[in-house]
Each structure stands twice: as structure tokens, then as C-alpha cells.
Structure 1
Amino acid sequence: MAASVKDVAAHAGVSVGTVSNVLNRPTKVNAETAQKVLAAIDELGFVRNDAARQLRAGRSRSIGLVVLDVANPFFTDLARGAEARASEHNLSVLLGNTDENAQREAEYLDLFEEQRVHGLLISPLGEVGPELERLRQRGTPVVLVDRSGVDRGYSSVAMDDVAGGTLAVTHLMSLGRRKIAYVGGPASIRQVADRLEGARLAVETAPGTSLEVFEAESLSVLEGRAIGELLRARPVGERPDAIFAANDLLALGVLQALVMMGEVRIPQDIALIGYDDIAFAESAVVPLSSIRQPSELIGLTAVDLLMREAADGEQAHEHIVFQPELVIRESTAG
């Protein structure tokens, strides 16, 4: 049976209150007594019941972070930034991966509500639903990550994905490319839709330029390869001369499919650009041009917003939007 606070107190010859002070308010206990209690904790293998402490405090020392796909290095870097900033506030980060699945998203929201997290950071799959509003009504601050919340009354930190889409396609058109394909999906993901909107805005400025849309089932390398195979199977005259992928994983999959048989040259036959500028983009067989997002900075900033909301729930919501940066490599510059 696990040792209790009472067991520690009896073993150290002190009161339960003294043990509690050592654990929670050590400055109130003299050094000799504290050492006796710590020795008893070590000898008995005592582990504090943090859940009970959270119930008494009304809120835990953890932040919930819900992301679309933890396999995507963009979200891994974002989580790293959030964790770094949270540790400065003596908070930990609990990571939930929805894998672009609405049911899993709802389950994580329920779990984090039960855990009474200090706050919630979330990159929602679709529209912001009543679950988030319920969390907020119960006193849990919520910040949207990689997603604008201006129209929903939530603080948010994101990148201007419409501008990013426009920047990517404008770059492709500057190379003289006029048959452009957009690879992205599912369309229910706001970031995907915004990047497509930006691509369409760019095409509208250039008469004679076309935009063909390929909707992927997920933002993965395998989906990119599947669409790349479809494009490679087309007659040469029916292929696009440029591709904008909604993220780098899709772009890397497309790249693999196109160059695998040596039939398509990147960028001579087809120029290719991705989005996010993950570490793998630079080390691809043809280094990948991309639209850079400051992923770690987004995570850091999201925690900053969350802490301000937790400190003053009545403050006006903040919306921080980073601007995209074009990174040109061989996949468009060869």
C-alpha cells in the first residue's frame, strides 16, 4: 500500500500539518525538521496525491495543449515552445493529439476539463464548438493556437495563412508558372482553407493562370505521395507546371512520387513549394522551398496569452498574427 501523509508524519515524528508545509510552504519549516520529513519521504517512497491537491486548489499546475497531428514537426516545435514558457511559470504541459479526428478532440476536451487544467491551448479541427465555451464559462482560460479567434471572442495566436497562400503562389507565378495545382486537405481545417483562399487571390491577379485543387484526406506524406502518383501518371501536357502544398509533409510526399522514376524534374518540369518550413524541408532530396512559420514562437506566445487571461479573466482578448516568410530553395530556384 502506498505511504500516506499520515505515515510520513508518524515516521518523522511531526504533525501532518508540518508535512504539508514541507511539501507546499517549505519556508515555514526550519531546516532540521524539513530534513527529517524529506528523509521520511525518501524512506517510505511517498508520492504526493496531486489530484487531491488540485481538487483543493480548484485548478491544476498543468496546461492542456491539443494539436491536430503530433507527427507533424510544426506541432512538435510549437509544443516545445509552449513547454519552455510554461516551465517558467512552474507549469507542465499535457499534450493531446487529435490526429485530425473530431471525436478524439472532444475526448481530450472532456479529459482536460476533468483534470481541471490551468488553461487550454488548442488548434481546433473545425469550427469552435460549445465544448470550448463550456470550459471558459467554468473559469478555464482558452487560447486558440495556429488559428485566428477574432470572430469567436477567444484570444489567439496564429499566422496570416491567407497571406501565406498568396505569397507561395505569387512566387510560383514569378517563375513564369501558369498551371498551378494546390494540394491540401481536409477542407474542414481552417488553415488549409485559408491557404487555398490566399492561392486563389494570387491567381485572380494573373489572367491566364489556372488553379487546380487536389483535396487530401490528411496532411501527411502518404497522402502527398498518392496525389503525386496521380499527377505523374498524367500525360506530360496535362500536368501542372507548379504545385503549392498546404504543408511540408504533403510537399515531401509529392516530391517523392514525382522524382521516384526519374520522369519529372523538380523544378525544371514542375516547381514545388510547401508550408511550415520544417527541418526536413531543407534536407529533402531536392531541398524544398516553403512558407516559414515561427512555430516555437507561436507556442511561447500562446502561453503568454493564457497566463494573462488566467490572471485577469476580464481583460480584452488578444489576437496576435505573425506574417509569413518565403524561404526559397532548389525546388523552385533550380
Structure 2
Amino acid sequence: MGDATKARIGDVARVAGVSVGTVSNVLNRPEIVSAGTRERVHEAIVELGFVPNASARQLREGASRTAGMLVLDIANPFFTEMARGVEDRLIEAGLTMALSSSDADPDRERRVLEQFAQQRLRGVLVTPSRGTGDNLGILLDQGTRVVLLDHRPSGLGLDAVASDDVAGGRIALDHLLGLGHRRIGFLNGSLDIKQCRDRHDGAREAIAAAGGDPDADLVEIEVAAMDAANGYGAMLQLFDDHPELTAVFCVNDLLALGVMRAARERAVSVPADLSVVGYDDVAFAGELAVPLTSVRQPTYRMGAEAAGLLLERGRPRQILFTPELVVRASAAPPG
């Protein structure tokens, strides 16, 4: 094998018996080169150990081979699975991905988007930290393609892939109400986050449709962060302040994980004494000691579809998925 530090595009052309322009086409526009010629060029690349210079290619093409992805929390398995869908689709197209987390903090979000803007990325997939999407102007003002991820467009005129979170909140509460629960806890994030607002609205709609009073029947706590530690702390608060509750709905599965830990510590049986419903149906949901009933979103597919929109050059499109309830052992009629 040749020395990768010395092999140049001209060396590949000489070994393959083609022009430098043909090698360039194989690397950048393979669809216009015949299969036989592509094969000879690839064989020469392997023989010489040639590595294309991505930086030089970017300068020639005026476009990065990297796309950015900014989500609320990369520690959340929901976003990890979504990122895998994005990455797989981008790799198929010859692109790589830069992944960051805003921690649902608008100031941190702004700093990351400014860094993305400086890198002149091919495009950016964003889950905005707040419903307004105010920071997106950093990218839009310089013409960077933006796709909203896990976020409905809200009149921004952008490509978007999301799940119907109002429907998701509604089916979670419909399930608990159908089991006979009437006083239900709800662990939610900030209502400035659109997904949290939508799930809040859906939950209240379900109670109202069942003839209840959302203000009286739904005890909602806003957590500082949507993780297991905050779910644990919030559930301990509910046990102390509202011992009459027989069920709790969590805005994501990480909060539900914390709820189950708090229940174990207080010797509260799930589901005999407390029913628990989560949201996202992440990988661990079905593997818990008491498998978690959860609202499922097609997470991987949402990521792949969003990456596909980023690669398109057509008019803005919005793709909205319908969530579904996955019933397991964590919810049952009140004892």
C-alpha cells in the first residue's frame, strides 16, 4: 500500500489511467462517471492509500461536508436515538455531523449557533430551547439551511419534523383516566419549551373531555431539568404534599425513572399504589423491573427524515408523526 502522506490526486489518476478531472468527479459527482471507471479509480485509491483532502474540497465547492445538530440534552436517550437516525442518513450522503446540546438554555443555544455559523456548515438541525426560535436568526441571516427537529414550525416557514405532542399528552391521560384515576400528578418541564407546552395542553384536554376539571384534577410540577434526579425529587414532593394521588404522568421517560426510584424508597408499589406513564419510550423503558408504559415516538425515523429534509433543495416541508401508547406493567386501576 502507498504512503497516505505522499499520495496525491495526480498519483491516483496515473495509476487508474484517467485524468485528474475524472478522479475529482468520482470523489464529488460519482453519478456522472461510468461504473468501470469508478471501480478503477477506487482500486487506485486503495492501492495508494489516498485520503481526499476534505478542507480543500470544501474550499473548492464553497460548502462544508458537515451538518450541525443542536438538541436540548444529548444525555437523554431520546435525542441519542434521534441523532443516530440523522447520522446514518448524513453518512449515506457523504456528510458528517457535529452534535451539541443547549441544555434548554437560550444563552447556551445562542453560543452554539454562533459557533455553527462561523463554521459555515452545510445546514443545521435544531430543537429550539424555547418556542419562539429567536436564536435561529443567527443561521438564517447568513442563508444557512435550518430544519426544526422535534419541533413544529409555529409559522417560521422552515422545514420541520415533529411528533404531535398534544395528541401524545392526550392519549397518556386518556389511558390513566380510563383505568379509573382521577387525581393525577404531572411532572413537566418549562412551558416555554414547546414540547412541554403541547403535552400539557393535551393532558388538560383529556381531563376536560372526560368531564373533569384540569385545574383541580391535574397536579403539575415544573422541574428544573427533565432528568431522573429531578423526577426523583419532584415525586418525593408529591408524596409529601399530595398523598391522595394515585397516578403520575411524566413528560419524558427519564423523569419516570426518577419517580420509580422515589416510589421504591417510600415503599410505594408500582402500579398497585401508584401508576406511572412516561413519554418517548426510550430503549430502557421496557427493561425496568416494572416495565414502563410510555408514549412512543418514532425517534430514529424522525432523525432520518429530518436529515433528508436538510439535504433537499425544495420548498419547506413539515412532517408530523402521530405518537402511540405502549402499554406495559407500570399502570393499573387504582387500588
Please indicate the TM-score interval, normalised by the length of the shorter structure.
0.7 to 0.9
How far apart are 1:132 and its partner, in Å? 2.1
Alignment of 1:211-290 (within 5 A): 211-234=218-241, 238-262=243-267, 264-290=268-294
Q: Which amino acid aligns with 1:57?
A: E
Q: Are 2:68 and 2:98, in contact at CA under 8 Å, matched by a contact in 1?
A: yes
Q: Whole-Å Cα distance in 1 between the matches of residues 44 and 245 of structure 2? A: 74
Q: Which amino acid aligns with 2:62?
A: G
Q: Whole-Å Cα distance in 2 between the matches of residues 63 and 115 of structure 1? A: 10
Number of the residue aligned with 1:168:
172
Q: Are 1:166 and 1:201, in contact at CA under 8 Å, matched by a contact in 2?
A: yes
Q: Secondary structure at the match of 2:89?
A: helix
Identity %: 39
Q: Secondary structure at the match of 1:59?
A: coil
Number of residue pairs matched by the alignment: 318
How far apart are 1:56 and its partner, in Å? 3.1
Q: Are the structure 2 counterparts of residues 330 and 30 from structure 1 closer, same or farther at C-alpha, using a change threshold of 3 Å?
A: closer
Q: Are the structure 2 counterparts of residues 177 and 58 from structure 1 closer, same or farther at C-alpha, using a change threshold of 3 Å?
A: same
Q: Are the structure 2 counterparts of residues 86 and 36 from structure 1 closer, same or farther at C-alpha, using a change threshold of 3 Å?
A: closer
Q: Whole-Å Cα distance in 1 between the matches of residues 187 and 8 of structure 2? A: 61
Q: Whole-Å Cα distance in 2 between the matches of residues 30 and 228 of structure 1? A: 61
How far apart are 1:76 and its partner, in Å? 0.7
Number of the residue aligned with 1:55:
59
Q: Whole-Å Cα distance in 2 between the matches of residues 103 and 35 of structure 1? A: 49
Q: Whole-Å Cα distance in 1 between the matches of residues 103 and 26 of structure 2? A: 41
**Aligned alpha-carbon RMSD (Å):** 3.0
Number of the residue aligned with 2:115:
111
Q: Which amino acid aligns with 1:253?
A: G
Q: Whole-Å Cα distance in 2 between the matches of residues 238 and 246 of structure 1? A: 21
Alignment of 1:290-309 (within 5 A): 290-308=294-312
Q: Are the structure 2 counterparts of residues 287 and 22 from structure 1 closer, same or farther at C-alpha, using a change threshold of 3 Å?
A: same
Relative to the length of structure 1, the TM-score reads 0.84
Q: Are 1:22 and 1:37, in contact at CA under 8 Å, matched by a contact in 2?
A: no
Number of the residue aligned with 2:30:
none
Q: Deviations over 1:201-228 (max 9, x none)?
A: 1111223661111010011000001112
How far apart are 1:129 and its partner, in Å? 4.0
Q: Whole-Å Cα distance in 2 between the matches of residues 187 and 30 of structure 1? A: 54
Q: Whole-Å Cα distance in 2 between the matches of residues 152 and 12 of structure 1? A: 47
Q: Which amino acid aligns with 2:73?
A: D
How far apart are 1:287 and its partner, in Å? 1.0
Q: Are the structure 2 counterparts of residues 54 and 203 from structure 1 closer, same or farther at C-alpha, using a change threshold of 3 Å?
A: same
Q: Are 2:188 and 2:223, in contact at CA under 8 Å, matched by a contact in 1?
A: yes
Q: Secondary structure at the match of 2:261?
A: helix
How far apart are 1:150 and its partner, in Å? 4.1
Q: Secondary structure at the match of 2:330?
A: helix
Aligned with residue 68 of structure 2, among 52, 64, 68: 64
Q: Are 2:10 and 2:20, in contact at CA under 8 Å, matched by a contact in 1?
A: no
Number of the residue aligned with 2:163:
159
Number of the residue aligned with 1:322:
321
Q: Secondary structure at the match of 1:305?
A: helix
Q: Are 2:117 and 2:138, in contact at CA under 8 Å, matched by a contact in 1?
A: no
Q: Whole-Å Cα distance in 2 between the matches of residues 105 and 98 of structure 1? A: 5
Q: Are the structure 2 counterparts of residues 153 and 256 from structure 1 closer, same or farther at C-alpha, using a change threshold of 3 Å?
A: same
How far apart are 1:102 and its partner, in Å? 2.0
In structure 1, the gaps of 5 or more residues are none
Q: Are 2:9 and 2:23, in contact at CA under 8 Å, matched by a contact in 1?
A: no
Aligned with residue 201 of structure 2, among 197, 202, 227: 197
Q: Whole-Å Cα distance in 2 between the matches of residues 179 and 212 of structure 1? A: 8
How far apart are 1:157 and its partner, in Å? 0.7
How far apart are 1:38 and its partner, in Å? 7.2
How far apart are 1:128 and its partner, in Å? 4.0
